[in-house]
Amino acid sequence: MTESTTARRSGGRAARRASRAAPLEDAVRPVRAGLDGGSYAPLTDAGVRSIHTAALDALAEIGLADAPASGIAHLTRAGATLGADGRLRFPRALVEDAVAHANRRITLHGRDPAHDLQLGGTRVHYGTAGAAVHMVDVQTRHYRESTLQDLHDAARIADRLDNIHFVQRPMVARDIEDAREMELNTVYACCAGTSKHVGTSFSEPGHVTAALEMLHMIAGGEDAWRTRPFVSNSNCFVVPPMKFATESCQVMEACIAGGMPVLLLSAGMAGATAPSTIAGAIVQAVAECLAGLVYVNAVKPGHPAIFGTWPFGLDLRTGAMTGGSGEQALLSAGCAQMHRFYDLPGGAVGGIADSKLPDMQAGWEAMCSNVMAGLSGLNMVYEAAGMHASLLGFCHESLILGDDLIGQALRCTRGIEVTEDTINLDVMRETCLDGPGHYLGAAQTLGRMQSDHVYPALGDRTSPKEWAELDKPDLVARASARKEAILAERAAARFDPMLDAAIRRRFDIRLPA
């Protein structure tokens, strides 16, 4: 064999490797944001109707307490009734009318339009969320308080992960005590870390006003912001069971006025602040979110609102949350089925681990609920990666490993395509009758190897011999190495220096310039 022949063959292999490593166009990728799910339905049709009827009865007969004065005015004007007991009750016709006129298809914008998310139907998206108060240090196996830098780093990492489609604040900056400064710095840290859609929360309406001023600066003006709002408000507008959260409702009204999409978040705990049965917890969450939908549309008809039924599981032996349980997976899948029934953009939780570290327990817990959420067609799967200790801890390495895990969950969501091309009996005939007796070199195999198959970035598929020859690489250590590599580079989403300086003159930004 000549040197030139060897070079040509080596060059050909290198070119093929480079081609396989290059980013694929969306149309060719085996998984991507917005794949259609919906093949899994844990509730029967009769069960869905029973939950719907029970939710309407609960709103009409029990109603919700503690609405702010502004909420009472909006809701009674829309047709709710205020009882002598201070509870607002919702006639069936009022609720059905709100559902009929609600915004059924929502675009959650990214700062980069390439990251826009189209919500509705059974289109599935995975992302972060939560309010963890600790960071998991995989090197020391200790928990420490989370900081603003940790939050910014999480956004920077998520910006580089293909299967993390949005970044809702996953942890609290515990190093900033003042709530206003913490919330404004949270907006800055997330938006400076990622150009994907960002979600965050506010504790007071006045904080919304200040945050909108910052967002107008980032967007290039109020009109530009209102055209493409790239931050949404995660709003716990209810305190289960069946009470409005007064200040959160006022925050919601301020966000609606400012053109910010809202996530109507009902987060009851089954057996504590929600009924202990899976069906009962879904009924209450649906009822509360229907009340929120009426509220939003009474303030501004058609305003973008996500039907955020987030019931959580509870270990009734100990009172511990069970975010990684099969019951939690069923709760979220059942909620997704109710979103489909109403044809409303919706979200629920998936991917939570009760395990304290990225170990086998964390893997099975995260995979169970993430797969079921995707199969059920949940539009927004929140808390899908990085969450440990039942939402008390967040781990950068688990966020990175979660990208691989969600890739497999999305492949399950995509399902099995049965077409003339995927069956292709001619390929089988040629291989078995006239060919080599295997499909390794078949044009179909080579042509579809990237469009049909998801290849993990860090997951190990080597043989034991190859694994030993590679010095037995550790999965978490590989995730740590990737984290360091990402954070060693400047964030692609960072602001223009002049804009950043202007933001820092106006606000007390705690991250180093």
pLDDT range class, residue 9, cuts 50, 70, 90: very low
Average pLDDT, integer, range 306-317: 94
What DSSP character marks residue 243? B
CA distance 93 to 257: 26
pLDDT digits (tens, 9 = 90+) for 324-364: 999 999 999 999 999 999 999 999 999 999 999 999 999 99
Q: Residue 1 is which amino acid?
A: M
- By the 8 A CB rule, do 347 and 126 touch? no
The token pair at 274 is: 């929600």
Q: Residue 147 is which amino acid?
A: T
pLDDT digits (tens, 9 = 90+) for 355-412: 999 999 999 999 999 999 999 999 999 999 999 999 999 999 999 999 999 999 999 9
Whether 8 shows a pLDDT value over 70: the answer reads no
CA distance 42 to 85: 37
- By the 8 A CB rule, do 401 and 166 touch? no
Predicted pLDDT of residue 22 = 56
pLDDT digits (tens, 9 = 90+) for 209-266: 999 999 999 999 999 999 999 999 999 999 999 999 999 999 999 999 999 999 999 9
* Least confident piece of the model among 72-76, 420-424, 497-501: 420-424
Q: Residue 94 is which amino acid?
A: L
pLDDT range class, residue 319, cuts 50, 70, 90: confident
Containing 73, the helix (H) or strand (E) segment is: helix 69-78
Predicted pLDDT of residue 13 = 53
pLDDT range class, residue 7, cuts 50, 70, 90: very low
The CA distances from residue 198 to 152, 155, 260, 492, in Å, are 12, 9, 11, 15
Whether 23 shows a pLDDT value over 50: the answer reads yes
- By the 8 A CB rule, do 399 and 161 touch? yes
The token pair at 354 is: 């009760």
Q: What is the DSSP string of 418-487?
A: --HHHH-HHHHHIIIIIS-SSSTT-HHHHHHTTTS----SS-----HHHHHHTT---HHHHHHHHHHHHH
CA distance 109 to 88: 34
Helix axes 246-257, 278-299, angle to 10 degrees: 50
Predicted pLDDT of residue 27 = 67
391: helix, coil or strand? helix
- Diameter over CA atoms, the chain: 95
Q: Which of 189, 158, 142 minimizes the C-alpha distance to 396?
A: 158
CA distance 303 to 88: 22
pTM of the model: 0.94
Whether 296 shows a pLDDT value over 70: the answer reads yes
CA distance 281 to 288: 11
Predicted pLDDT of residue 6 = 46
CA distance 350 to 386: 11
Which residues neighbour 304 within 8 Å (Cβ) at sequence distance 6 or greater? 103, 106, 107, 108, 232, 261, 262, 345
pLDDT digits (tens, 9 = 90+) for 35-53: 999 999 999 999 999 999 9
Instruction: Let me know if domain 99-414 sits in CATH 3.20.20.480.
Output: yes
Average pLDDT, integer, range 162-179: 98
Q: What is the DSSP string of 386-423?
A: SEEGGGTEE-HHHHHHHHHHHHHHHHHHH-----HHHH
Predicted pLDDT of residue 21 = 53
The token pair at 478 is: 């590989």
Q: Where are the domains of the chain?
A: 99-414
Helix axes 92-101, 45-61, angle to 10 degrees: 120
Residues of the chain with pLDDT > 70, as a percent, come to 95
Q: Residue 73 is which amino acid?
A: A
pLDDT digits (tens, 9 = 90+) for 419-472: 998 999 999 999 999 889 998 988 888 888 888 899 999 999 999 999 999 999
